[in-house]
Amino acid sequence: MAVLDGGATEVRRNMLDRIFLDARTQNGWRDAPVGDETLRQLYDLLKWAPTSMNCGPARFLFIRSPDAKERLLPLMNAGNREKTRQAPVTVIVGYDLKFYDHLPKLFPHRPEARDAFATPGKETHAHDTAFRNSSLQGAYLILAARALGLDCGPMSGFDAAAVDAEFWADTSVRTNFICNIGYGDPASVRERLPRLDFEEACRLL
């Protein structure tokens, strides 16, 4: 699976292995906690990755306490409940439909930027921008977690409306996807599934 030329350093190889080549989606978890400082470090890495107009619409709920897990578990599809119960941390990745209120801070050189989303009639544009860029940030979450030595198990099997009502009520945030984070149990990893080859997925124009 080597993708590097001969001049790549061993450190670079190890990092690519950790983030892409050897990393696997996890379905079971070791009983090892993930501390507050690690979660702060995780966010402090992913926040620097790019979003359009630096809009940063993603919002993250780190679900760890037994009470919070009990609120979430009934909202997950049946096949996702046990692995979510086991995971040290479950992240609800949301997107703020009013992300544009932060643009004066995040995109200060364009004072008019907020108007591109906040003006009546721009709701679809705001939603699409929030969803698209929060998806990017959710992917950055996974890459940053892997870079820190954590494992991830992203999921889309849940009742999104119910999660919104339970965890984002009375806010402008909606749920994009959910991701378990911690230290995976190797015994739970399935055989690696194939991917499309370059010729099947890409075109050179």
- Per-residue pLDDT tens over the stretch 102-117: 999 999 999 999 999 9
Cα–Cα distance for residue pair 76/153, rounded to 1 Å:
14
How many CB atoms within 10 Å of residue 106?
14
Residues 6+ apart with CB under 8 A from 151: 23, 24, 26, 29, 145, 181, 182, 183, 184
Would the pLDDT of 169 be above 90? yes
Average pLDDT, the chain: 95
Would the pLDDT of 168 be above 80? yes
CA torsion through residues 131, 135, 140, 145, sign: positive
Would the pLDDT of 165 be above 80? yes
List C-alpha distances in Å: 86 to 65, 66, 70, 182. 12, 11, 12, 10
Cα–Cα distance for residue pair 11/166, rounded to 1 Å:
43
pLDDT of residue 5: 55
Cα–Cα distance for residue pair 101/103, rounded to 1 Å:
6
Q: In this structure, are residues 95 and 173 in contact, taking their beta carbons and an 8 Å threshold?
A: yes
Adjacent-strand bridge partners of 90: 63, 180
Cα–Cα distance for residue pair 179/62, rounded to 1 Å:
10
The pTM for the full model equals 0.93
**88-20-177 Cα angle (round to 5):** 50
pLDDT of residue 1: 43
Would the pLDDT of 118 be above 70? yes
The owner of tokens 């010729």 is 199
Of the candidates 152, 143, 144, the residue with the CA atom closest to the CA atom of residue 40: 144
In terms of Cβ atoms closer than 10 Å to its own Cβ (0-12, 13-18, 19+), residue 72 is: buried
pLDDT digits (tens, 9 = 90+) for 36-91: 999 999 999 999 999 999 999 999 999 999 999 999 999 999 999 999 999 999 99
pLDDT of residue 12: 86
Q: In this structure, are residues 27 and 84 in contact, taking their beta carbons and an 8 Å threshold?
A: no
Q: What structural domains and CATH numbers belong to the chain?
A: 33-185 (3.40.109.10)
User: Which DSSP helix (H) or strand (E) runs through 104?
Assistant: helix 103-106
